[in-house]
Amino acid sequence: MKLENERILVTGGAGFIGSELCARLLARGNEVVCFDNFSSGKEEFIAPMMKNKKFKLIRGDMLKPAEVARALGGCRAVIHLAANPDVRLGQSDTRVHFEQNVVATFNLLEAMKAGGQEHIVFASSSVVYGAAKVMPTPEGYGPLLPVSLYGASKLACEAMVSAYSDNFGFSATLLRYANVIGRHAHGVTRDFRMKLEKDPSRLEILGDGTQTKSYLHVSDCVEATILAAENTEKVEAFNVGSEDKLNVKDIADIVSGEMGLRGVKYEFTGGQAWKGDIRLMLLSIEKMGKLGWKPRMGSREAVQKAVREMLGKE
């Protein structure tokens, strides 16, 4: 369906990706209902939109079905970004991703079943592939064997979205995002910045620094999200990432360089960065390419832009 001049629910709409997506949807003439519990989202991210008459904020909890059902009222489509984004948290709290990702998605799908919505866009992740043996990894790769509880929860959600779509008559876009970064992103760039602000002379790097992955700027992610949603017939999975990759040491060099630091001593913890971390990741984006999409920035450029934005340089 065309995401123009529609009423659209964005769960997690006050988050890093969600706020950027809400702004883009408003620019396309849509009414946007932003549903967020502000566990990781921020009021400042959506502040520029609060005076827009087509933007509505609902503070709510995905674990409360009645609140989800009310938020869906009048919406034709849903973009479901709400989730706990902390991959490592699954090691210490084994329930968090089940509850905040799987149960939350179940509640949304149940509400959609009753509410008559026509389309759902689900924000999945590259981690559903686990430690893939084929790179770039295409959407048809299998078996899918996640190595983190976060990845397992995202794969479970994909399966539920697909089954509900088939059983209850709405279409579904499954987007496997690969390391989306930008001004407000969590993850390695923010981690490095915070460490270097505390001690500009040294930087602890988890693992050995050779972990290599692709990185995608949020502006490219938002454009891909809308394009994929508008080109889904029934149920479609799309990889959304960049065409190249970057290792962690290179990212450390970029962050320290943009902060104007020289001679920073890197201290590597060695081995696997953390349980469930994917050491090597690069997705095939050929399927998105056939729709005419290509990221405007490669991994290095995306990281540089994100760091400069984070530091207030852009």
pLDDT score of 244: 97
pLDDT score of 240: 98
For the chain, the average pLDDT equals 96
Summarize pLDDT for 58-94 with one digit per residue, the tens.
Answer: 999 999 999 999 999 999 999 999 999 888 888 889 9
The full set of domains in the chain, from first to last, is 7-180+217-240 (3.40.50.720), 181-213+244-310 (3.90.25.10)
Q: Token pair 């849509």 is at which residue?
A: 30
Distances (CA, A) of 89 to 26, 85, 116, 152, 207: 33, 9, 35, 13, 17
Helices (H), 84-174: 96-97, 104-115, 149-168
Please tell me the number of Cα atoms within 13 Å of 81 on its side-chain side.
30
Q: Give the separation between CA 21 and CA 229, rounded to whole angstroms.
A: 13
pTM beyond 0.85: the answer is: yes
